[in-house]
Amino acid sequence: MHFHPKYHAARNPDKPAIIMGGSGRVVSYAELDAASNRFAQAMRARGLRIGDTIALCLENTADFYIVAWGAQRAGLVYVAVSGRLAPREAAYILRDSGSRLVIGSAYTAALLDEVAALVPEIEQLRFGGTLEAELAAMPDTPIADERAGVDMLYSSGTTGSPKGVRIPLPEDPEIGAANALVGLASTAFGITGDAVYLSPAPLYHAAPLRWSMTVHRLGGTVVVMEKFDPEHALALIERYKVTDSQWVPTHFVRMLKLPEEVRANYDTSSLKCAIHAAAPCPVPVKRAMIDWWGPVVREYYAGTEGNGFTYISSEEWLARPGSVGRALLGTIRICDEDGNAVPAGTEGQVFFEGGSPFSYHNDPDKTRDATNRHGWTSLGDVGTVDEDDYLFLTDRKSFMIISGGVNIYPQEIENLLVTHPKVTDVAVIGAPDADMGERVVAIVQPRDMAEAGPGLAAELTEWLSGQLSRVKMPGQIDFRAELPREPTGKLFKRLLRDEYRDAAKA
């Protein structure tokens, strides 16, 4: 069986492949197939060959998929670059990845103008300009040397410089060959060619891009939000009778904090599978989502690296609240500081044995650091497994606070604070402390900034005091109108920690 838009274009040419949630633009499978062929032809006309690298710096748009599928069928390595990066950050990714060409748009033009001055050797093509004209002149037939390409995605840089995850071109050159995600989507999540899939997050991120392209492989329809808005997401579920979707915990929190009467206005009964990942979900938040949407909420734990994959259903989670499931790819190994496996129930770093190989592009030290002496690989998270091999995550190792010699993981504190009715978002970090080494600081985004101040800080402290041990209690609560969070839901803790460390030096 073949899994590629071109086969669905032959069978169901008029079926919508893409629906843009805001503009309403619809791209059929026939249109996606023809346009991606033109893009592949344009790449060959520019001298790009199998194994070459290009970059996409585009907003959430149907054109994103034209470029991605065109690159995929041309055997190219395609790098997704966020349009929200600073020019030097975008230039770094382009240079580091070895990109020969970057595809942009009118939306990202201002950024790419500055990038051009930093990396003038890298060519640029932009939708709404030369690229549209170039595609119009190209034939819509397949290139002669069609071959499966692959993405190369960069970490968000939340804990340091972004690193590209380099995956070899697929051994099978057939562009419609199945891959691991196709198998997981079908077997674990029940996604089929009849799916109407809602993608609420930026497409430059690994999960939205890979999962929505997997839906295209299966022949479903992808509804894309140009930008996440909690009520608009509910409206799209109702309007298009969405069956499948992918979320991060921040999306859940923001939908749950809509007024009850607003949430009740929308029919979400079409949902068969609501996938979430990317960060640990607070137990009360997930329980509330299951109460609201039913047992359709399914979770996985994995990374851009593709070295392992766990899965848990709603029913399993209700029996083991807080778990991210059992491994479907790789074998979970919890290890101590020396790389030795520890018994069930003992906390340690999470490794996968036997998962897919990967490397960090141009960073052998980081690749080496992610691999222990057994050859098992880690994403840098800490957790435990129970006697039945269900994984429970604690936090990222790099986020750990050491205060007075005690290890404190911020995630537990964050998961509590975000459930308070007056809190919209929160980050907990370790700030320098002359006596304790680090002190626990909570940086809170309140629902109403007018309430920010000592009174709310005291209220939150009192509320936490019955739920946390004294050593974990924030010694300082600060307020911000907004936290530095990616649209993908990932928090830029590095920026906050750097800010507090710089302030301590002043």
* Span 1-46, pLDDT tens digits: 689 999 999 999 999 999 999 999 999 999 999 999 999 999 999 9
Query: How many domains is the chain partitioned into structurally?
Result: 4
CATH number for the domain including 282?
3.40.50.980
CATH number for the domain including 422?
3.30.300.30
Whether residue 163 is found in the same domain as residue 194: no
Query: What pLDDT was estimated at residue 156?
Result: 58
pTM beyond 0.75: the answer is yes
- Report pLDDT digits (tens) over 217-264: 999 999 999 999 999 999 999 999 999 999 988 899 899 999 999 999
Whether residue 283 is found in the same domain as residue 339: no
Whether residue 405 is found in the same domain as residue 385: no
Whether residue 154 is found in the same domain as residue 246: no
**Interhelix angle for 87-97 vs 109-118, to 10°?**
60
SS3 assignment, position 474:
coil
Whether residue 164 is found in the same domain as residue 255: no
Across the range 428-443, mean pLDDT stands at 86
Whether residue 123 is found in the same domain as residue 241: no
Kindly state whether residue 18 falls inside one of the protein's structural domains: no
Q: Can you tell me which residue has the tokens 């891009």? A: 209
Query: What pLDDT was estimated at residue 438?
Result: 85
**CB–CB of 197/25 below 8 Å?**
no
Whether residue 300 is found in the same domain as residue 345: no
Whether residue 423 is found in the same domain as residue 483: yes
pLDDT at 159 over 70: no
Whether residue 161 is found in the same domain as residue 34: yes
Cα→Cα distances 47→38, 57, 108, 275, Å: 14, 20, 25, 40
Whether residue 228 is found in the same domain as residue 356: no
Range of the domain at 265: 178-304
Which of 364, 398, 432 is the C-terminal boundary of a domain? 398
Query: What pLDDT was estimated at residue 158?
Result: 45
The band of 468, judged by pLDDT with boundaries at 50, 70 and 90, is confident
Which of 339, 372, 398 is the C-terminal boundary of a domain? 398
β-bridge partners, 333: 351
Kindly state whether residue 316 falls inside one of the protein's structural domains: no
Kindly state whether residue 7 falls inside one of the protein's structural domains: no
Q: Cβ of 25: how many Cβ atoms within 10 Å? A: 13
In 29-84 the beta strands, taken as DSSP E runs, fall at 53-56, 77-80
The band of 407, judged by pLDDT with boundaries at 50, 70 and 90, is confident
Integer Cα distance of 143 and 262 in angstroms = 50
